[in-house]
Amino acid sequence: MDMVLDAVKDMQATVSALVVPGKGILAADESIPTITKRFQAVGIQSNPDTRRAYRELLIGTPQIGEYLSGIILFEETLDQKASDGTPLPELCAKQGIVPGIKVDKGLVELPFTNGDKVSQGLDGLGERLATYKQKGARFAKWRSVYNIGAGHPTRLAIEANAEVLARYAAECQNHGIVPIVEPEVLIDGDHSIDQCAEVSEVAFHEVFHALHRHGVRLELIVLKPNMVIAGKSHARKSTPEEVADRTVEVLRRTVPGAVPTINFLSGGQTPEQASANLNAMNERHPKLPWNLSFSYARALQEPVMQTWKGDAKNVDAARKAFFHRAKLNGAAQKGQYKAAMEKA
């Protein structure tokens, strides 16, 4: 019983550290194939040394803890050290940032769905979580995706992804680790904002039904959903006001008030779009039961990678770009972002 109480206290402390006004979470958990692809796009060679140097650049940015409360790391990063020998999770802690870890093992095709995907990685998850916790991780992340298209996502995919998300979340809480639950309706495609809203509502509802079924404590999770937005190829782009109103509408219908924080993924939006859309939510809907913040990857890192280009002499400039982007999203979390701030 004492062990259970200690685990709950650990998770309560982690949630309190993550949910801070003006702060959000950096997703720096790209798998090796993903970060290699992003490096190649800006002419950076991907190897353990360059990946370590890049993540040290991010984590070591002076005062970045003013706008980041947490960082999601990839397994490789959890074992790496900064150039002065400090383990990178320890460097996070020195910045006042909670280190977390991506634990799903990627996507595989779900049989008999004609292309829908399900995340894998439940086998051995308990043992991995125990190891990650020893290395300093205090929260974890698991991503499931939903494609919008003719006949997609199938009901089978919606139910299967909800089940694995709930099983993962329960296993995390069993080990005293706060789970980030990430159901992502993909922005790829030409679907309308109405279609995104429809699929998001069904998917989120199924996720919370599964979380309840598995006994997951909602007060001790972080929800990381997509925003409700038209597909990238849709003829008409969604305005920040539309994104804000439709997203909040879906969340009100599906997410219990017990959830402490909703940290949106950027999901292919530009850095400017992601900031403007988050800001519109907080500006237009200030009295919601949840904290609304960010857990961005590319929308925080794109300017950094383009500035750094793998060259040590660009580190200071890249860190300034990163700090500026984090500051803008910190303002958006408070509903205080203005487009004019982009040039400040």
In the chain, beta strands by DSSP E: 24-28, 68-73, 98-102, 107-109, 117-119, 139-146, 178-185, 222-223, 261-264, 291-296
Can you give the pLDDT at residue 132?
Answer: 97
Show me where the domains of the chain are located. Answer: 2-343
Assess whether pLDDT exceeds 90 at residue 344: no
Q: Which residue has the tokens 């919370």?
A: 208
Assess whether pLDDT exceeds 60 at residue 52: yes
CB proximity list for 295: less than 8 A, separation 6 or greater: 24, 25, 26, 27, 70, 72, 180, 222, 224, 263, 264, 265
2: confidence class by pLDDT, cuts 50, 70, 90: low
Mean pLDDT along residues 120-127: 98
The pair of structure tokens assigned to 87 is 């383990």
Fold entry, domain 2-343: TIM Barrel (3.20.20)
Q: What is the pLDDT of residues 215-231, one digit of tens each?
A: 999 999 999 999 999 99
Q: What is the pLDDT of residues 61-112, one digit of tens each?
A: 999 999 999 999 999 999 999 999 999 999 999 999 999 999 999 999 999 9
Mean pLDDT along residues 263-279: 97
Q: What separation in angstroms does the CA of 280 have from each of 42, 71, 109, 234, 247?
A: 31, 24, 36, 21, 11
Q: What is the pLDDT of residues 5-29, one digit of tens each?
A: 888 999 999 999 999 999 999 999 9
The pair of structure tokens assigned to 40 is 């190649």
Mean pLDDT along residues 240-258: 98
Q: What percent of the chain has pLDDT over 90?
A: 97
Q: Rounded CA gap, 263 and 157, in Å?
A: 23
Can you give the pLDDT at residue 219?
Answer: 98
Assess whether pLDDT exceeds 80 at residue 4: no
The pTM assigned to this predicted structure is 0.97
Can you give the pLDDT at residue 231?
Answer: 96
The 3-state DSSP class for residue 344 equals coil
Q: Output the CA torsion sign for 215, 218, 222, 226.
A: positive
Query: 90, 78 in Cβ contact below 8 A?
Result: no
Q: What is the pLDDT of residues 200-211, one digit of tens each?
A: 999 999 999 999
Q: What is the pLDDT of residues 138-154, one digit of tens each?
A: 999 999 999 999 999 99
Q: What is the pLDDT of residues 89-102, one digit of tens each?
A: 999 999 999 999 99
In DSSP terms, which residues pair with 224 in a beta bridge? none
Active site residues: 182, 224
